[in-house]
Amino acid sequence: MWDALYAAFAGTGWPLALLAYFLVGFAVGGATGGGRSRFMTALGWPLELTQRLAGTTGLPYLFLVPNLLVFGLFTFSPMFINVGFSVTEGQSILFEQRDWAGGENLTRLLSETNPDTGGENREDDKFLAAVADTFVFVIFQVPIMVLIALVTALVLNREIIGRGFWRSVFFYPVMLSPVVVGFLWTLILKRQGVLSLTLMQWGWIDEPIQWLTDPSWTMFWSVFVYTWAHLGFYMLILLAGLQAIPKDLYEAAQMDGTSDWRVLWRITLPLLMPTLLVVMVLSLIKAFQAFEELYAMQVRWTSLVAYIFETSGLRGQPTANGLGVAATASLLVAIGLILLSLIQIYLTSRQNR
C-alpha cells in the first residue's frame, strides 16, 4: 500500500501542500487537548476560521451559497435565456446572430395568419391541439391519481401483514427512470406485446391492438402508466399526513362507537385536507409537465412539453423561428404553472388559518 501511495505522489507537490495545510491548521486553529483533538482541529481549520469571521448567524448563509449558485446556474439562467429566445428570431442559439422580434413569436404561435408569409398559420392549430390534449390528460389523470393515492395511503396506514413490504412495492416505480418505465410498458402495450398476445390467447380479442396509437386507447393507457409511475410519491406524502393525525382522536371515536365511515369523513379527511391540497396541486403541476414516459412510449397525442420539444428543433429538422416559438410557448406554460403554485400557497395559508 505504501509503495502505491509513494508511486502516486512521487514527483508532485501534494505531500508538501498537505504538510503546509496541517501546519497552517495547527497555527491558526489554536487546538488544545489531546492529539486527536489537535488533529481534528487542524483538519477542519478552514471551517473554524470561517465561523470566527462570519459569526454564528452568518455561517448558515455561507453554507447556502453553493446551493444558490447551482440553483441560479441551472434554473434562473435558463429562464432568462428562454425569455431572450422568446423575443428574438432566427435559427442560431447565439443572441448576436438573432434579430429582435418583440411579440412576433407570440403572433406566430397564436395568430390565425402567419406574419411571415401572410397565409394560413398552422402553428396555432398545433399548439391549441397540444393544449387541448394536455387538458384532457390532466382532467382525467389528476383526480384518478389523487383518489388512488389516498385509498392506497389509507390502506397502508392500517395494521396489515407485510405493511413495509407493500409500501416499498407501491413506491418502487418512483425510483425507476421515466425512460425505463416508458420502454417497459411499450413492451407490454405494443401491437405484438404481452397484453395483446394474452388477450388473444384468452379469446377476448381477434387481432392484436396497438394500444399506444389507437385513438380509443392511447389516452387511457397514458393516464394509467403515468399514474402507475408516480403513485408512490403522492402516496408517501399522504401517508405522512395520516401519521401526523393524533391517535387519541381515533381512540375517542372508537370509545364512542363511531363507525369507520364517519371517522373517515369527520376526522381523517378534514385533518388530512392541507396535505391533500398539496398533493392535488403538485400532481396538477406534474401532469402539465408530463413528457418523459409519454415520449418513450410514443403515444399518439402530443403534450405541451412534447410540442415545445419538437418545435424547438431538438427533434427533427429545425425551422426558421421554431426556437423562438417554442420559447414563447414554454413561457405561457410557465405562467400557468406559476399561477397554480400561487393558488396552492394561498389555499394552504388559508387552510392553516
pLDDT digits (tens, 9 = 90+) for 212-237: 888 889 999 999 999 999 999 999 99
pTM for the model stands at 0.79
**Segments in the chain forming alpha helices (H):** 2-9, 14-29, 35-43, 45-71, 77-86, 104-110, 123-156, 163-175, 178-189, 194-202, 218-243, 247-255, 260-263, 269-288, 292-297, 304-311, 322-352
Surface-to-core class of residue 144, CB atoms within 10 Å of its CB (0-12 exposed, 13-18 middle, 19+ buried): middle
Domains of the chain: 13-85 (no CATH), 123-311 (1.10.3720.10)
Rounded mean pLDDT of the chain? 84
pLDDT tens sequence across 242-288: 998 888 888 888 888 888 888 888 888 888 988 898 898 889 989 99
How much is the pLDDT for 2?
60
